[in-house]
Amino acid sequence: MQTNFSSIVAVVGMGKIGLPLAVQYAQHGRQVIGCDIDATVVEKINTGQSPIQEEPELATGVAPLVQKGLLSATVDTTEAVKSAGVVVVIVPVVIDDQHRVNFQGIDAATKAIGFGLQPGTLVIYETTLPVGTTARRFGQILEHISNLQAGHDFYLAYSPERVSSGHIFRDLRVYPKIVGGVNEQSLDAAAAFYRSVLDSAIITMASTDEAEFVKLIETTYRDVNIALANEYACFADAQGLDVAAAIAAANTQPYSHIHSPGVGVGGHCIPVYPYFLLKGLEELTQNTGERMLLLPRTARSVNDAMAEYTVSRIEAVTGSLAQRSVLMLGVAYRGNVRETAFSSARLLHSALLAHGANVYVDDPLFSAAELCALGYTPLPEEHEHEIRAVLLQANHSTYQSFDFSRFPHCQVVMDGRCALDRAYIEALGMHYMTIGDGNRCKQRKQQVVPLAVSGEAAIGG
């Protein structure tokens, strides 16, 4: 194949991951064109500003690159691709309420790329994908539109993006880059590109399918692991044991890596990618498919069921929550992020409402209007005295100094992330509990002991 030697890189999708990637490549001397359908994002980048707040390095990193002409942005992906030797695609794939995978955005991006694709260009997908998507779905779209053949007329590869929002530049240095190609030439071209723009190790895989599988393995592992921790937590509660102490002790053995239990799993990765893995079963016969991936399926149900379990633990202290007011702290999917994608706050909110509670929320990262738009009710000051239970859902650092004395009638604080100061809360006369602390059953045991004694006495009599 005749390689397209243009040193220009087109990065398609200038979001939380795409912009840092564009900056990383430009800092390694490549001329980068960022492509996005959002004109506001494009305009901001072209004036040297970062539309992304999560990455501290971007605040000062974008302007000098724009001034030097190494970074620019456009809404015209097709034109950018025409001039590029490498195209990196990082447009999200999402799931809907029924857990069906929705490729709409990335399909549109792929079509725009297809119209501009030149012979010898390297196209790399980095978005997390169901196994088979790069080679079959996107390969076919690109070939059909460009009239070029993948692996023959242009290089096609997949490399999962493994970084986390908030410390992307560190992760790019530390995590090995996993790369797979539709053929050996594509793999070599992609590995050579990453060697020129990254400082990390590179791990090559046998195919794009195998490279896609890697990311689904590492994310689904975390969901299944958390589900196991949650099951241990429920067991600990039933036995009157402290799961956190038991897990910490078990994890001193090097083969035990149990995560922490909690009130739910949120975010656009961990609760979502198991469904991408399951999507890969669709091409198999129904019978074969049904026998596979039972653990990821079960883990999803276990983790989602933690919302109902949490409410039952609160009610074990308060009695029925019907007509009672509950305050949920944090609607974000995790502490200190201003994002609500698949937050377990949704499930907890629904479970509390289903039990008849009046549910209020607090989240300092969102305005009252934003909380209302998300379907939540911010807590008005005049209703603070009604609060009977507080539930910590997202561990924002501001909650470390949160004033719980505002809720004089609060009976219980459910610390869903094991993050609060037990002594402070108990000193206010509130019951403090975490998932898996065994408190509920310790109390039950204390009640059961005298009954057993009186029972023995009755038998003896």
Tokens for 375? 């379907």
- Contact status: 238 vs ligand NAD (CB under 6 A): no
Burial classification of residue 167, based on how many CB atoms lie within 10 Å of its CB (0-12 exposed, 13-18 middle, 19 or more buried): middle
**C-alpha–C-alpha distance, residues 77 and 138, integer Å:** 16
- Contact status: 105 vs ligand NAD (CB under 6 A): yes
Q: Which stretch binds ligand NAD (CB under 6 A): 101-109, 244-252, 284-292, 396-404?
A: 101-109
- Contact status: 139 vs ligand NAD (CB under 6 A): no
Are 181 and 157 in contact by the 8 Å Cβ rule? The answer is yes
- Contact status: 335 vs ligand NAD (CB under 6 A): no
Instruction: State the DSSP code for 414.
Output: E
- Contact status: 32 vs ligand NAD (CB under 6 A): no
Backbone angles phi, psi at 254, to 5 degrees: -65, -15
Residue 35 vs 371, nearer CB to ligand NAD: 35
Q: How many residues in the shown chain lie near ligand NAD by CB under 6 A?
A: 26
Backbone angles phi, psi at 180, to 5 degrees: -135, 150
The binder of ligand NAD chosen from 9, 10, 11, 12 (CB under 6 A) = 12
Residue 133 vs 325, nearer CB to ligand NAD: 133
215 is catalytic: yes
Residue 34 vs 264, nearer CB to ligand NAD: 34
Percentage helix, strand, coil for the chain under 3-state DSSP, each rounded to 5: 50, 15, 40
The residue number with the shortest CB distance to ligand NAD is 15
Q: CB of 52: closest distance to ligand NAD in angstroms? A: 7
Q: Where do the H-state alpha helices sit in 389-438? A: 422-427
Q: CB of 14: closest distance to ligand NAD in angstroms? A: 5
269 is catalytic: yes
Residue type (1 letter), 17: I
- Contact status: 92 vs ligand NAD (CB under 6 A): yes
Q: CB of 193: closest distance to ligand NAD in angstroms? A: 18
- Contact status: 177 vs ligand NAD (CB under 6 A): no
**C-alpha–C-alpha distance, residues 396 and 332, integer Å:** 9
Q: CB of 349: closest distance to ligand NAD in angstroms? A: 23
Residue type (1 letter), 444: R
**C-alpha–C-alpha distance, residues 322 and 352, integer Å:** 9
Residue ranges of E strands in 292-399: 325-329, 358-362, 387-392
Q: Which stretch binds ligand NAD (CB under 6 A): 12-20, 78-86, 195-203, 379-387?
A: 12-20
**C-alpha–C-alpha distance, residues 263 and 346, integer Å:** 11
Backbone angles phi, psi at 352, to 5 degrees: -65, -40
- Contact status: 16 vs ligand NAD (CB under 6 A): yes
Burial classification of residue 53, based on how many CB atoms lie within 10 Å of its CB (0-12 exposed, 13-18 middle, 19 or more buried): exposed
The binder of ligand NAD chosen from 74, 165, 340, 393 (CB under 6 A) = 165
Residue 117 vs 352, nearer CB to ligand NAD: 117
**Chain residues 48-77 in contact with ligand NAD, contact rule CB under 6 A:** 77
Q: CB of 425: closest distance to ligand NAD in angstroms? A: 32
The active-site residue, picked from 35, 234, 269, 410, is 269
- Contact status: 108 vs ligand NAD (CB under 6 A): yes
Count CB-CB contacts under 10 A for residue 44: 18
- Sheet with 431-433: list strands edge to edge: 358-362, 325-329, 387-392, 412-415, 431-433
Tokens for 61? 């990193």
Q: CB of 440: closest distance to ligand NAD in angstroms? A: 35
Residue 14 parent element (H or E): none
The active-site residue, picked from 44, 177, 215, 279, is 215
The binder of ligand NAD chosen from 9, 10, 13, 362 (CB under 6 A) = 13
Residue type (1 letter), 10: A
Q: CB of 200: closest distance to ligand NAD in angstroms? A: 15
Site residues (vs ligand NAD, CB under 6 A): 12-18, 35-38, 41, 77, 90-93, 105, 108-109, 127-128, 161, 163-165
Residues noted as catalytic: 215, 269
